[in-house]
Chains A and B, each alone.
Chain A
Amino acid sequence: MTLSTCLLLATALFAVGIYGLLTRRQAMAVLLCIELMANAANLCFVAFSRFRGGVTGQVFAAFSIALTVAEVAVGLAIVILLYRSRGDTRLDLASEMKE
């Protein structure tokens, strides 16, 4: 277990999240993929804190966890609003901003 293996693992998790973000059409599934990517970033913070020493990395990870929770709350509210106004949460239906 070295720093570079931890970073590679986090990169792989982030890449899986990108794949899901690009292929999924359901709003809830996209939220899940964003969670996955935020989790990978947190893993990077913790790994740097462990291998480089110092507490700042863990402070960053704690803040990042709280930020992700706030983002999930707002995201879920938007998804519920989308469902209420359309009856469906497929993101390709929500295309009014295109025109």
Chain B
Amino acid sequence: METVGFAFAAACALLSAIFVVRSSNLIHAVLWLGVTLLTTAGLYAMLGASFLAGVQVLVYVGGVITLMIFGVMITRRHDGLVVQADSGNPARGMFVAGAFFGIVAAAIRLTDGLDVAITPDAVSPADLGRALFREQVLAFEVLSLLLLGAIVGAIVIARRRDPGAPRREPLEMSARTPERAPEIVASEVRP
């Protein structure tokens, strides 16, 4: 039963990961990444990390995927409706990824003691909390500082305006009234 569940989750994760890197519509790729992260949360739950499974769903699927969708929508070009993700040179990527997988899989196969079955005692969320806030409390605080710095830095980077760059008029972006629809469509759909 457990093996079947694991095989199913693993197949889902792998397939959706392949869709993430192959789908030509970027929004679809983001949604497939959401499927991958959800199945990974299921795998965490199977591996006894229930707290991390919850964190994965909350932070990744709830936060990061939403942020990514916003990012794709903000940075899409306005001359087409579908965001194309150009794939160039698939043979080289296939070779490097295959070589990486082959080397690491061979190393995993050759290492002794990795075929252990699951141990009955799972780490409880209480244990995790004790470890986070007792032994690792310094690292935890440093991490919170790093998050704060990263978010302030992200705001600073995204706000900076290049004085030489021509500013797009806000009116031009928002003036999508029904009367202007024919000319907007004519300018957006190019052969």
Contacts and interface: CB of A to CB of B under 8 A. Distances in A.
B67 interface: yes
B74 interface: yes
B153 A4 contact: no
Interface of A: 1-9, 11-29, 31-33, 35-36, 39, 42-43, 46-47, 49-51, 53-56, 58-59, 61-63, 65-74, 76-85, 87-90
Contact of B96 (A7, A18, A31, A81): A18
* Majority secondary structure, B binding face: helix
Given A33-B20, A55-B123, A84-B161, 8 more contacts: A2-B114, A5-B10, A6-B47, A15-B98, A35-B64, A42-B40, A51-B119, A90-B86
Given A18-B97, A24-B85, A79-B75, A3 B68 contact: no
Interface of B: 2-3, 6, 10, 13-14, 17-18, 20-21, 26, 29-30, 33, 36-37, 40, 43-44, 46-49, 51-52, 55-56, 59-60, 63-64, 67-68, 71-72, 74-75, 77, 83-90, 92-94, 96-98, 100-101, 104-105, 108-109, 114-119, 121-123, 127-128, 130-132, 136, 139-140, 143, 146-147, 150-151, 153-155, 157-158, 160-162, 165
